[in-house]
Amino acid sequence: MNFQKKLPYIVFILALSFVLGSAAYLRSLFLDMPSIATLEDYTPSLITKVYDRKGELITELFTEHRVLTPLKEIPVDLQNAVLAIEDKNFFRHWGVSPKGIARAAVNNVVKRRVAQGGSTITQQLAKTIFLTPERTISRKLKELLLTFQLERNYSKEEILQLYMNQIYFGSGAYGVESAAKIYFSKHVKDLNLPECAMLAGLPRAPNYYSPFRNADRAVARRATVLRRMQELGFITEEEEGAANAYPVNSERMPVPAAAAPYFIEYVRLQLEPKYGSQMIYRGGLSIYTTLDLQAQLAAEKALGENLTAFDAERMEFFETNQSTPIKVQGGLIAIDPKTGGIRAMIGGRDFRESQFNRAIQAKRQPGSAFKPFVYTAALENGFTPVSVIVDEPLVYVNDGRDWRLQSRTTEYLQTLPPEWIEDPLKVWVPENYGKKYHGRTLLRSALEHSLNMCAIEVLDQIGPMRAVEYAKKMGITSPLTNTLSLALGSSGVTLMELVSALAVLDSGGIKTTPYAVVRIENKDGRILEENFPKEEEVLPPQLCYVVTNLLRGVVEHGTGRAARAVGRPCAGKTGTTNDFSDAWFVGFTPQLVAGVWVGYDEIIPLGDKMTGGRVACPIWTTFMREALKDEPVLNFKPPEDIVFALVDPKTGLLAQSNFPGAYLEAFIKGTEPKEYFIEGETELEDELREIPGDEGGF
């Protein structure tokens, strides 16, 4: 048989093979496709869960089960807006738009990339609910097959209803009801025309067109939707103009959280730029954090109860002065000193009222809470715990180049022109709390009782830049002024900075970077991200132990005496700014370092004698007692080259074992006193121990 006679048989066999192959391929696609029978009961299953360090569930992000909003409750303006911008021929085509597909194909070829999809609303619904976003031929064929099934089994109104309830609008909003609440704090049925147009413009690029990210882009996108609606006859030109003039809300509505809302938001803000909101809210991630849920709940309870009590006490003041009562604010943060893991975080009284995180965003003057940095620098530059400092009035005058100490008595002010005294840029006269001065004082007592004149004297001797150097080395990142007022905390810092910087003392000189996320797993358990402590040795352990030992004195018989109620070894420092506008306490045990700030958002006084020791320290104490209740009681262990010596509390010299008032002091080996003091009893220590546990500002 020649080739011409064989040709029909060959064509037949090839055609049959093609048909059978295509049928087999289509059959495999059908078998691999999800059933649309599950559509009506569909709810998102990919829930992101956030866990604490012990594996306890903190929260689930957007876990509410979706309830379909009937089409009749969705405004006609919103339906028309979606049709105008997404699929104007929706009620006329049979699921796909040949013209749209052809136009998209030509555009993609011209741009040499997948730049345009050409999908109808039905196709988008099929892809959104049943399929992955991969761009393959098989996925596109499945999309078309599912689209035909949807069109065959559901009416156009049902398809539109399903689409409106499933599509993503950004900011964690899935479906029109959720979007209406997040963007406008309304039910969808209450939306007006401009709000409907705004929502309709979001699904194409939710983050890009979000009014929370860029109001100008959102307005331009809304105008595009309104113009399409007008061109299609859905609205008049007058309605278009009025809708375009409607103001856009660019502030995100408060998002409530069951527990640790400020911490969850802190984590979200870190992860969303890396993973995108779709992955965070729909990706089924498991986010394992450093938070200790027990400590967090203890923090929320301690801060909330104490601030509520404070407000009640201040109510009489507001009523007496006939002024509007305002709520005091506060922040608390706790960190593991060994790793930098954040164990608890509170950024304010109520996350629903204010998402501003006062623990990490607010920069306030720390007052005397900054003094540990001054004394840390001093103890490595010529000072010891028993260095004698003269506590007396100081008068500084600016000579045009720098502040110069002019007198150690306020009588000198009588020699100055009155206009100089009233000018803070000419004359500076710092004061101790209560305007009390105690003459010759040991460095330990100066720190324990937060004597301002002593801190200034020390800073003047070592130089402000030396203190700045140590503060930066320990973790303070905010700008610090090169002035003597730095000794009194005149430069604003955040609570996070203070806590993480003092954690260096607790960890024996190792600075750790605070972090919140341990690891992230995807829905299949594959690790997407894993974080480990970042450590850097910045101070000698001997120096850290000596400063810690001094700060223990602040708690034992200084301005932080309220912290003794923790019932375990702890160290810390109070802080109060000028006019009592900010109250601080930052302290630590071997296992945990924490800080508390209390104040008003506006810089106004908390009230007379509302110091860090009185306002912030009790909150810290209540929190630490509860947070550490299951932890063993540990003491601070001295490193090598630490020696202890019995010293006289007045002179700082060595004392005999039977000397009245003598106490055991820690020194870096080689810096301990070498001479003995043998005389009668001193009155200095008793006098200092009677000073109230408060301190003033600068």
Residues in CB range of 244: below 8 A, 6 or more apart = 194, 219, 222, 223, 226
Distance in angstroms (rounded) separating the CA atoms of residues 255 and 185: 11
249 band by pLDDT with thresholds 50, 70 and 90 = confident
Using DSSP, state whether 404 is helix, strand or coil: strand
pLDDT at 1 (0 to 100): 52
Q: Examine the pLDDT at 516 and tell me if it is beyond 90.
A: yes
Rounded mean pLDDT, 72-77: 95
H/E run at residue 300: helix 293-320
3-class SS shares of the chain: helix, strand, coil, % to 5: 45, 15, 40
Per-residue burial over 115-131, b = 16 or more CB atoms within 10 Å of its CB, e = otherwise: ebbbbbbbbbbbbbbbe
Residues 372-393: what's their mean pLDDT? 97
- Dihedral pair phi/psi, residue 548, rounded to 5°: -60, -40
Report the sign of the C-alpha dihedral through residues 373, 476, 427, 462, in that order.
Answer: positive
Q: What is the model's pLDDT at position 317?
A: 75
Nearest residue to 673 via CA among 440, 381, 461, 384: 384
List the single range of 165-179, 314-328, 501-515 with lowest mean pLDDT: 314-328
- Position 698 scores a pLDDT of 44
Task: Kindly state the average pLDDT of the residues 449-463.
Answer: 96
Which tens digits make up the pLDDT trace of 89-102? 988 887 776 665 55
Tokens encoding 646 = 């019995």
User: Which superfamily does CATH assign the domain made up of 66-244 to?
Assistant: Biosynthetic peptidoglycan transglycosylase-like (1.10.3810.10)
∠ at Cα 102 (97, 108), nearest 5°?
Answer: 125
Question: What's the CA gap between 298 and 558, in Å, rounded?
Answer: 26
What pLDDT is attached to residue 470?
98
Domain boundaries, the chain: 3-32, 66-244
Residues whose CB is less than 8 angstroms from the CB of residue 21 and which lie 6 or more positions away in sequence, other chains included: none
Q: Which residue type sits at 431? A: E
| Top mean-pLDDT range of 53-67, 163-177, 606-620 | 606-620
Q: Which helix (H) or strand (E) holds 685?
A: helix 684-689
Q: Are the C-beta atoms of residues 562 and 618 closer than 8 Å to each other?
A: yes
Separation of alpha carbons 246 and 488, rounded Å: 50
* CA-atom Rg of the chain in angstroms: 34
Residue 139 has pLDDT above 80, yes or no: no
Active-site amino acid positions: 86, 368
Q: What span, in angstroms and rounded, lies between the C-alpha atoms of 489 and 698? A: 8
Q: Given this model, what pLDDT does residue 246 score?
A: 94
Q: What is the pLDDT of residue 43?
A: 46
- With a CB cutoff of 8 Å and minimum separation 6, the contacts of 110 are none
548 vs 7, which has greater pLDDT? 548
pLDDT by residue (tens digit) across 523-559?
A: 889 999 999 999 999 999 999 999 999 999 999 999 9
Mean pLDDT of 239-262: 82
